[in-house]
């Protein structure tokens, strides 16, 4: 399968997020819980997400995943309990829009890593996945996930 990669320079993106450590098996429940908590808080503030929800992966240890789950927002907002204000840093990033099942994400990840090596880009160690729909809305084959690697 072929993938299309984009290199772009982005501004810092304000976000509200919850960071935790979890196993890959518990990740879907943690994501659902975090997104629900953040959405309730955004409604309380009279705000809305500025873009699709995301998960930032700070490592790939499947038993102890260090993840940040959240929503981009339009401006700086106050933290509340486990919900923190943060920013996705400004800088260069390589991205790919992937359509298909989450279980097949290794394909675009492998291709992106190979492309970055060939082009001389070094990932910062964090990878973001933005989810434009969910398994509850569309068949697995129609899931849209934007994979983003900040690079040096």
Block residue for tokens 């697995």: 140
Tell me, what's the pLDDT at 25?
A: 94
Tell me, what's the pLDDT at 2?
A: 85
What is the C-alpha to C-alpha distance for residues 66 and 56, in angstroms, rounded to an integer? 8
What length does the chain have? Answer: 152
Residue pair 82/18 in contact (Cβ under 8 Å)? The answer is yes
Check residue 83 and report its DSSP letter: B
Contacts with 7 (C-beta within 8 Å, 6 or more apart), sequence order: 92, 93, 94, 119, 121, 151
Q: Which two tokens stand for residue 107?
A: 């394909």
Per-residue pLDDT band for 1 (boundaries 50, 70, 90) equals: confident
Q: What is the 3-state secondary structure (H, E, C) of 30-58?
A: HHHHHHHHHHHHHHHHCCCCCCCCEEEEC
Q: Which two tokens stand for residue 50?
A: 């500025």
Per-residue pLDDT, averaged over 66-78, amounts to 98
Over residues 104-142, the pLDDT tens digits come to 999 999 999 999 999 999 999 999 999 999 999 999 999
CB atoms within 10 A of CB 11: 10
Torsion angle of C-alpha atoms 134, 126, 98, 122, degrees rounded to 10:
180
What is the domain class of 6-150 according to CATH? alpha beta
Over residues 22-69, the pLDDT tens digits come to 999 999 999 999 999 999 999 999 999 999 999 999 998 989 999 999
């Amino acid at each position: 399968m072929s993938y299309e990669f984009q290199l772009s320079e982005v501004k810092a993106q304000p976000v509200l997020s919850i960071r935790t450590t979890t196993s890959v098996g518990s990740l879907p429940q943690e994501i659902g819980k975090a997104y629900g908590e953040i959405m309730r808080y955004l409604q309380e503030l009279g705000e809305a997400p500025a873009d699709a929800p995301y998960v930032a992966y700070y490592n790939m240890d499947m038993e102890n995943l260090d993840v940040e789950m959240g929503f981009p927002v339009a401006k700086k907002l106050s933290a509340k309990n486990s919900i923190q204000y943060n920013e996705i840093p400004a800088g260069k990033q390589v991205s790919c829009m992937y359509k298909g099942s989450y279980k097949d994400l290794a394909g675009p990840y492998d291709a992106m890593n190979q492309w970055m090596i060939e082009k001389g880009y070094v990932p910062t160690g964090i990878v973001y996945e933005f989810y434009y729909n969910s398994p509850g809305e569309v068949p697995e084959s129609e899931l849209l996930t934007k994979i983003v690697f900040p690079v040096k």
